A and B are shown apart, each in its own frame.
Chain A
Amino acid sequence: MGYSGLLEWVKFNNPMDNAYYPYDVYNLPYDAGAKLWELLGGLLGWLINLLVPGNRLSTWLISDAVVNAFAIIFLAVILFAVGFVVNLTMIWEERKVLGRMMDRRGTKIGPLGYFQCLGDGLKTFMKENVAPADKDKKIYWWALSLVIGSSVLIACMVPLSHRWFVVDYSTGLLLIFGIFALAPFFILCAGWAQNNKYSLLGGIRAATLMISYEIPMLILLASVVLMAGSFNINDIVNAQFDTMWYIVPQFIGFIVFVVCAIAESERVPFDLAEAEAELVEGWQTEYAGMKWGLIMLGDYFRGYTACALIVILYLGGWMLPGIGATAVPELVFLLKIFAVFFIFIWARASLPRVRIDQILNIGWKRLMPLSVVNLCIVLLLKMGGVF
């Protein structure tokens, strides 16, 4: 047991050799976290061992369990941080593109106006925390946390590439959709708890809208899963690389999915839940200051998830046709997300808000049959042996 040199303490193991490694495949953020801890913990252990030779703390610090625990915490932090930065970039993209479409400048603070969101975030943070006196206190706070929490959770669930993910279950997509579907319930609760008529109407509208648009979305998910033969996101992306992007055989599905995704992330033209013209701010009316700021952040996390789902299901995920995964597949994936988000912004700039009965008409009478048609096309292709 001669712990003489530093190198014996700081050894960069293959993370997959770790006894507690939670995945079957390589995970980059986990590896980075493990390596970081092996460096820090190794240095610390070496120093402690110099002072008190042969102590048990030093060896515990670089044991598999501690490395694994740190790596998982690091994984969570890095995924949230990356998600946060991507969201800021999407907000910046939206404000900039929207500005140009409306013949104005958009954001201006910082290089290309990138830091405007930070300023706005700071502003909302410094606002007084106003809440109605006669609210339903428990539900008011819990519903808010759950709306934001579920939105952030799904955004972090989305893998950025085959090596950048949180969960790699065989039913990864179902998990994402399941959490996606939770929000309407919380929004309904939040609308009720504020004791405000506008919030109540907004909450009911949001729930109605989201529930009716989830159904065509799930049918489309079924067609993609049927075509790829798996619920695993990795498999779906690989299947698209092997054959072709699913936007080609399932073009109808792509269009319907984009419409549903805009509705699910409550954006114009389907933002009737917060229709500011008649409902002031909809179900968010009584959430002032930073609460509103966090709701906005949650909205963008949902938008990000919706874009990511479109990219995964129809646009080949992080793969490029003919090339496959590049050296930085995460970047390819994010660029595709920004490109899809451009469609969302475009719709926002050019369309008015749709009325609730018209939205339900579109959802049940147009999108629903179209998604079934898409499913039939997939079935025919599958039976014909094309895929």
Chain B
Amino acid sequence: MMKGPELDKMWITMGPQHPFSHGLWTLRVQVDGEIVVDAEPEIGYLHRGWEKECENRIYPKIIPMADRLCYSASMTWSHLYCKVVEEALDVELPDRARYLRVVADEICRIQSHLMWLAAVGTDLGNLTVFLWCLREREFFLDLNVRLCGQRLTTNYPRIGGVRNDMPYYFERDCMRAVERFEKALWEIIAITDESSLFVNRMKGTGILTREQVANLGITGPAMRGTGVDFDIRRDDPYAAYGEIDFEVPVLKDGDSYSRFRVRIEEMFQSCEIIRQAMAKLETIPKTHPYRIKVPRAVPEGTHVTRIEDPRGEGLMYLVSDGTDKPYRLKVRSPVFVNVSAAKPLVMGARVADIPAVMAMIDMCLGETDR
């Protein structure tokens, strides 16, 4: 029997099987009535020894494993893996490959953000948003199928390029999907962003300051929602992002609503990037190579590279020992770091705010637990 002031507070273990958690993780919260007074995220339920497994595989065989780091951002993760190996090999990518990677990455970003928006819909108790977002997401998954033959685990990037060039009429399909999506997104905005009930659920909750963001190492849309103007695609460009003109949406409030707005704006920007990359691809003749041959063994050395994942900054650290297998491959997952902000995010919020606030982190447990 507890005594004293502890009696009026109770610990609730939300997860690992809980509707809000979107995967296997636990958020233990201590509540005083409806107010959260303490919180503690617990992860690791999905740990499968990903990094250790990679040490026993030759380099090309790790690409499909990198796909499985996150079900909705598989393209960027395999891109990141190929990028770190390419830097270790010190190869220059052909133009077609660079632009195809940009297109594939942005398709992946849009469908990942749509998955997030769908989850926000259910977390805030509206199933219509969920279904509309998944409906729009199908068009981009279809593009994935056209490009790589798979909906989610795409296995598209290769060390030294991409697996295949665009199929016939891909450009037409892609532009159709993008144009359709830009209209459909306004429809979704109409029942989320333009509904004051929706906005009231997000405004003023889960506030983070710039100092907290810096100290916790939060990246991605969650960071840009607190006014930090940083995007690897623009500030440390990779693939063909340096040659594409796009804006990085930044909002200053630092609450759930600004994180929400940042992601919505990012989807519009992704459409713009796809449009520019497609126009550029048209100017590069089809006869240009989309992949170059690379040696099987990687010279000895250590390499670090990063990429703008839909959820934040994905980073891979490769130690190679001159053989055809990596000596060590370390992954820095953005969600792993972002979820450490769970306590400052939900402190002082109400129990009903927990799903709304944590949804803005966009949890993906595959990459978090690895």
B198 lies within 8 A of chain A by Cβ? yes
Q: Does B195 contact A352, Cβ atoms closer than 8 Å?
A: yes
Task: Decide if A280 touches B19 in the complex (CB within 8 Å).
Answer: yes
A197 & B350 in contact (Cβ 8 Å cutoff):
no
Residues of A within 8 A of B123 (CB): 277
Q: From residue A25, how far is it (CB to closest CB) to chain B in Å?
A: 45
A277 x B122 contact (CB < 8 A): yes
Cross-interface CB contact of B131 among A102, A354, A357, cutoff 8 Å:
A102
Task: Give the segment of B323-331, B352-360, B362-370 that binds chain A.
Answer: B352-360
Answer whether A102 and B19 are a contact pair too, CB < 8 Å, given A269-B125, A272-B352, A275-B125: no
Spot the interface stretch: B10-18, B166-174, B209-217, B310-318: B10-18
Within 8 A of B (CB), among A251-272: 268-269, 271-272
Q: Which residue of A lies closest to B205 (CB)?
A: A355
Contacts of A279 in B (CB 8 A): 351
Q: What count of chain A residues pass the 8 Å CB interface test? A: 28
Q: How large is the interface on B (under 10, 10 to 19, 20 to 34, 35 or more residues)?
A: 20 to 34
List A contacts of B246 (CB < 8 A): none
- Cβ contacts under 8 Å, A349 to chain B: 126-128
**Contact of A351 with B by CB under 8 A:** yes
A153 to B46, CA, bound (A): 49
- Given the known interface contacts A102-B128, A277-B124, A278-B351, the answer about A354 and B18 at a Cβ–Cβ threshold of 8 Å is no
A101 contacts chain B at the CB level, 8 A cutoff = yes
List A contacts of B14 (CB < 8 A).
278
Closest B residue, CB atoms, query A358: B200
Query: A271-315, CB under 8 A of B: which get 1 and which 0?
Result: 110011111100000000000000000000000000000000000
CA distance A333 to B48 in the complex (A): 61
Verify if A55 is at the interface (C-beta below 8 Å from B).
Answer: no
A347 and B92 alpha carbons, distance in the complex (Å) = 56
Verify if A201 is at the interface (C-beta below 8 Å from B): yes
Is the pair A351, B195 in contact by a Cβ cutoff of 8 Å? Answer: yes
Cβ contacts B331-343/A at 8 Å (1 or 0 each) = 0000000000000
Nearest CB in chain B: distance from A172 CB, A: 35
Chain A: CB-nearest residue to B353: A355
Q: Which residues of B contact A101 (CB under 8 A)?
A: 128
Q: Nearest residue in A to B127 (C-beta to C-beta)?
A: A102
- In the assembled complex, the CB of A346 is this many whole angstroms from the nearest CB of chain B, namely 11
Chain B residues in the interface with A (C-beta under 8 A) = 10, 12, 14, 18-20, 31, 34, 121-129, 131-132, 135, 191, 195, 197-198, 200-201, 350-355
Q: Given A103-B132, A356-B34, 12 more contacts at CB 8 Å? A: A98-B127, A102-B127, A104-B131, A198-B12, A277-B125, A349-B128, A350-B195, A351-B197, A352-B121, A353-B126, A354-B197, A357-B350
